[in-house]
Structure 1
Amino acid sequence: MIVVKLGGTEGVNFSSICADAVSLQQQGRQLVFVHGGSAEANALGEALGAPPRIITSPSGYTSRYTDRKTLEIFLMAVNGKVNSLLTEQLQGLGLNALGLSGLDGRLLQAERKEAIQSIENGKRKIIHDDYTGKISAVNSALLHLLLGAGYLPVIAPVAVSPRGEALNVDADRAAAMVAGALQAETLVLLTAVPGLMAKFPEESSLITRLSAAQLEGALDAAQGRMKKKVLGAQEALAAGVGQVIIADGRIAAPISSALSGKGTVIA
């Protein structure tokens, strides 16, 4: 079982990833896709007069401020466009992909963050109207049902709260939770860089291997969105995933390349 997270930033080549998935399924590999969609959500927000607002937590993690209007834009862009087009592309290649989000069948269950802290202009601010959450459970029975029926699940990073609210959740950590729930042998996090770099953005400083014990130090050193990927890797390994690979999603056959050891292999 391989769980693949497709980064939502510009540059990640969905066409190459989908073509590679065909090859891997022909080899008998079972796949689950989790995708992002930040670039599409940003573009739609700009077009609708609601540009994205990125907030930074006191510990240095960045996330999208998601009030109700932003949530609806996110749903249109990510659940609507990105998920549908990715599913269409896989279907066009002969893979029986099934697009869904964590809302469907309560696939991804999360607790809404009633108050989050943000650092703005050096000052700590409390935000109360944010529709984001941390995943607390995965409906693995639903995923096993779909996989057993021959589907390739394509999951958008939206969860459901106990009150039935849609919540924006981090796609890297969602993929980690899915991989843990399925006890996947590998979680592949595809992004627009070669992997974790010691001196970002110098690609020559790529870190090729990390042990689980080294992740805490890597978490401190990682910058920007990479911090969430390292955190997701940590959570996946703790949940029983065999290995996590942060790898380049811009190249040909990116999943196969990652499985051959290219990128940052964490085990």
Structure 2
Amino acid sequence: MSPIVICRPADAQGVDTTSGTGGVNLLTDNPKEAWISGSAAEVAAILDLGSVQEIDFVYLGSVNGVVGTTWSVTYSTASASGIGATALGTTVAVMPRKRRGLMHLLTVLDAPVSARYIRVIVNQGDGGPNLTAGILRAGLSFRPQWGQEWGGGRAVVDTGTRERLPDGGFGVDLGARKSVFQWTFADLSEDEREELYAFTEDVGETVPFVMVEDVGDGVPATNEGTHWCTFDRLDYYERRAPGSSRWAFRIEQWI
């Protein structure tokens, strides 16, 4: 069982794009406020963290990718132009299993690197639509040594309403369908517990972040297991033994 990864976005100073409109929307929390690239060719977005910081993940969310979409990341401590930047390689995007909906593009590094400017390049391939994307973030992940307990899982919530009618039918007001996920971290060390507690103080139940159910070789195992989300119903942690705590969490996806 691969450990759950919580990706904590760093504060960013700005973003620039090589084409299109609405690039600044990549810094908002709402994924529906999108960057419209206006191009199906190779395009790039450059995230400026404002200062050199340690990062070990880069995330581009709510992407209208297609089969064959590829993306790559470079980073630099000094140059927004990409000159002299360090490349993280090119990755084929993980397709949604139902072959519809929006993609999450995420890379998680084995160890942090120092960066200020992060350049994300996306290529939709032959015949792909003009690229749109909703979220661009980079920062540090949280991966506890002993991972999570068995028993966590994902469900679907429907924001619509259904009312039973006298004739046996239903009155339906359609909404959106999205994921919720719950899990429990077991055997958190004191340092891990306090690091996680500080993060929950920062974000509460209203500030979004990235949570990934399963990461293999630095990329998500599934598109559906990657969530732009907020915590839901933050609970108490439990001290199980000296130096060991257990803590249950639940997140709800923001789409």
Normalization by structure 2: what TM-score? 0.28
Structure ID, larger Rg: 2
More strand by share: 2
More helix by share: 1
